[in-house]
């Protein structure tokens, strides 16, 4: 193990990934490999907090692994694995569950949003953040690159780490959220005050990483704007603001430069150019994805060796927790 700081993140295989997942999280992962000791997980245990079709879950799990590889995560440099292959996550979750307030879990915005008006809400959905805390704490992670919507989960992870440390002596690192400069919250193309999400019933609200070029152009063409007719970056024009954020994230150009370049221009041109910038950015990823996804043997090799490395590390921290809490070692 190196003395580099540890970066940890995860993505749920609960559907096809959106441009939001890509800009807010995925595309930042390979860049971190050079400076940090990186661990990237496919959090299939989190995905089942909402109903999943078994065949589809299996396919999506391998899709995420292929996407991790397609964006340039190198399994020689980073650990890539599937959460359910390392049962220590669930063990630590149980330990942390015994020190997590029910009220705190019920107040989590994501829980409230997902539970919504559903008559049947399962305990797994409520305990989702405890499993996420276990994921992160199990590896002594220093930084967690995630989109803005995960802020509350990271705060709760820190709370739990502090609680454990003060009760049983210093054990866990207090992790910090690593925010992206632009695109920490990509909004829906149809309702730009709402986060872009793969669970949106309106498919025009999101762009998928695996959408083809024509679909991407069509979705941007239909993107909701406003009737102000000027290209500006402010909260009164959430549709335009979102388009500029996506454009800036995909082109590398600053918002100021974009505002100068589009002064006096129409929304139609902006939408077309954003679509092209997105295609430029994700087109190559999509191509590599299709090459890698077909190679089942390679994927299996990557997740098998990833799970071995992850379990080795996870076990070390978990044993410490058990010991400190008073369990008899095996
Ligand atoms: P998930 O699978 O919902 O999302 C994966 C990542 O994508 C980011 N994201 C977005 N970023 C910007 N704009 C958006 N519209 C957008 N939508 C999603 C998310 O912030 C996330 O970074 N709870 C996590 C999974 C998880 C995890 C972990 C993450 C489980 N354990 C440990 C880090 C560390 C989640 O819901 O991801």
- Tens of pLDDT, residue by residue over 143-155, are 999 999 999 999 9
Secondary structure string (H, E, C) spanning 204-251: HHCCECCCCHHHHHHHHHCCCCCCCCCCCCCCCCHHHHHHHHHHHHHH
pLDDT at 203 over 60: yes
- Determine how β-strand 143-145 pairs with β-strand 79-82: unpaired
Mean pLDDT over all residues of the chain? 96
Residues in Cβ contact with 42 at an 8 Å cutoff, skipping those fewer than 6 apart: 10, 11, 12, 13, 61, 64, 65, 68, 81, 82, 83
Q: At what angle do helices 238-251 and 267-293 cross, to 10 degrees?
A: 50
Ligand 1 site-directed mutation target among 40, 86, 149, 249, most atoms within 8 Å of CB: 149
- Confidence (pLDDT) at 99: 97
Digit-coded pLDDT (tens) for 8-37: 999 999 989 999 999 999 999 999 999 999
Q: Which two tokens stand for residue 3?
A: 């003395």
Out of 5, 198, 309, 316, which one is annotated catalytic? 198
Average pLDDT rounded to a whole number, residues 42-68 = 97
Tell me: pLDDT of 1 over 70: no
The 6-11 sheet, strands edge to edge: 79-82, 37-42, 6-11, 143-145, 176-178
pLDDT digits (tens, 9 = 90+) for 243-298: 999 999 999 999 999 999 999 999 999 999 999 999 999 999 999 999 999 999 99
Per-residue CA distances from 126 to 96, 131, 159, 193, 278 (Å):
14, 10, 17, 25, 35
pLDDT class for 118, splitting at 50, 70, 90? confident
Report, as an integer, the average pLDDT of 160-177: 98
166 contact partners, CB below 8 Å, separation of at least 6 = none
Report DSSP state, residue 319: H
CA atoms within 13 A on the CB side of 155: 10
Average pLDDT of the segment spanning 164-182: 96
Percent of the chain with pLDDT over 70: 100
Q: Ligand 1 centre from 329 Cα, in Å?
A: 35
Count the alpha carbons within 13 Å of 144 in the hemisphere toward its beta carbon. Answer: 31
Mean pLDDT of all residues in 53-57: 98
Ligand 1 contacts (CB < 6 A) are 8-12, 20-21, 23-25, 43, 46, 132, 135-136, 144, 146-147, 149-150, 153, 184-186, 195-196
Q: Is 195 considered catalytic here?
A: yes
Work out the pLDDT band at 330, boundaries 50, 70, 90: confident
pLDDT, average across residues 211-235: 97
């Amino acid at each position: 193990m190196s003395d580099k700081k540890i970066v940890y993140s995860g993505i749920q295989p609960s559907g096809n990934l959106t441009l939001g997942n890509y800009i807010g999280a995925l595309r930042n992962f390979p860049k971190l490999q050079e400076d940090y000791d990186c661990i990237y997980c496919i959090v299939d245990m989190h995905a089942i907090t909402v109903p999943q079709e078994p065949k589809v879950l299996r396919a999506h799990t391998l899709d995420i692994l292929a996407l991790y590889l397609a964006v340039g995560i190198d399994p020689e440099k980073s650990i890539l694995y599937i959460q359910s292959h390392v049962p220590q996550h669930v063990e630590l979750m149980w330990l942390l569950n015994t020190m997590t307030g029910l009220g705190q879990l019920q107040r989590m915005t994501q829980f409230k949003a997902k539970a919504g008006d559903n008559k049947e809400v399962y305990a797994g959905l409520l305990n989702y953040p405890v499993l996420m805390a276990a994921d992160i704490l199990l590896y002594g992670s220093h930084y967690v690159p995630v989109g803005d919507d995960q802020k509350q989960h990271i705060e709760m992870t820190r709370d739990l780490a502090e609680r454990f440390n003060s009760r049983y002596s210093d054990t866990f690192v207090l992790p910090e959220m690593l925010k992206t400069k632009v695109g920490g919250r990509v909004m829906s193309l149809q309702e730009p005050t709402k986060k872009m999400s793969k669970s949106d019933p309106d498919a025009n609200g999101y762009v998928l990483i695996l959408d083809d070029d024509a679909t991407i152009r069509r979705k941007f063409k239909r993107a909701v704007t406003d009737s102000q007719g000027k290209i500006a970056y402010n909260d009164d024009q959430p549709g335009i603001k979102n388009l500029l954020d996506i454009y800036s994230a995909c082109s590398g150009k600053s918002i100021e430069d974009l505002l100068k370049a589009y002064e006096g221009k129409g929304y139609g041109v902006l939408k077309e150019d954003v679509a092209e910038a997105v295609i430029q950015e994700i087109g190559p990823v999509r191509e590599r994805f299709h090459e890698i996804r077909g190679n089942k043997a390679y994927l299996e090799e990557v997740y098998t060796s990833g799970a071995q490395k992850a379990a080795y590390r996870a076990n070390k921290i978990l044993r410490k927790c058990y010991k400190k809490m008073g369990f008899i070692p095996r």
